Amino acid sequence: MASPADVLDAVAFTGYGILVVAGAAFTYYALQNYALDRMEGYDQFWGYLTYLGLAVAAFGVCGLGLVAGGGVVVRAFADVALLFSIAFVAFSMREVYFDSALAPPPEERETSLETLRALEFGFVVVIALEWVVVVWLGDTTTTAVLRGVGALGFAAYGVAFSERLEALAHGTTMDTLRRHLLIVMVCATGVAATGLVALVAPGAVADSMEYVFLVLLGGLLVPPTIRLQQSVASLA
């Protein structure tokens, strides 16, 4: 009879494997939309979605490496890929919001686009810091807090623009894609934040949550991939 550890490894292996396949498929169709110039003027939006797919696939590959016994460097790259997955969803929400014809003109914006881009650069610095800290200290309480707080910050940024975008794109194809991506971001944030849960709950609870969000992330990336595929089919 398989031990609990073997069962958890099997679940993790399956979850990470799904992420590799789902991320690769998402990347392919995002690139197709970019090449076909779906929604003219949204090149950066499709670019962010392409990066999202690559980050998810990279996280899956690193996760498989961790299941196989990878060390702290693999753990560091896995954290970076996961945080970039969340950040790219947030950046895509911001990008499509400001590219919308219904977005407020520059002089009426509460925060300039330049300020937001500077904030996003700060996000990238946090991700780089996470990599350095994990390589230096290993997977510790400090790295778990940095990973979890960073993920929650990125997610809050993305949710803020998602809500603004909902008012502009309600009932449209973009709104449907937005809702799918929002769920993907929530699941990715759930995976990243389980380290925070482990600080206040038994380790078994945190591990279970991580595996649940991991499998959900792979499964819930499929609907937006289908939307991208349908978009390509309508233009081909």
Model pLDDT, residue 171: 64
Take residue 35 and report the two structure tokens written for it: 């090449």
Q: pTM to 2 decimals? A: 0.91
CB 59 within 8 A of CB 22: no
- pLDDT surpasses 80 at 168: no
In a 10 Å sphere around its CB, with 0-12 CB exposed, 13-18 middle and 19+ buried, how is residue 17 labelled? middle
pLDDT in tens, 33-54: 888 875 666 788 899 999 999 9
Kindly state the average pLDDT of the residues 149-166: 88
User: Rounded distance, CA 236 to CA 231, Å?
Assistant: 9
pLDDT at 205 over 80: yes
Query: Is residue 172 scored above 90 in pLDDT?
Result: no
In terms of residue numbers, what domain contains 67? 4-235
Q: What is the CATH classification number for the domain harbouring 228?
A: 1.20.1070.10
How would residue 169 be classed by pLDDT, with cut points 50, 70 and 90?
A: low
pLDDT at 105 over 80: no
Residue 107 confidence (pLDDT) above 70: no
Which pLDDT band holds residue 108 (cuts at 50, 70, 90)?
low
pLDDT of residue 153: 92
Is the per-residue pLDDT at 196 higher than 70?
yes
Q: How many domains does one find in the chain?
A: 1
- Axis-axis angle for helices 72-99, 43-67 (nearest 10): 160
Smallest Cα–Cα separation from 66: which of 55, 57, 77, 56? 77
Mapped onto helix, strand or coil, the DSSP state of residue 149 is helix
SS3 113: helix
Position 133 pLDDT exceeds 90: no
- Residue 103's pLDDT is 64
Quote the mean pLDDT of the chain. 86
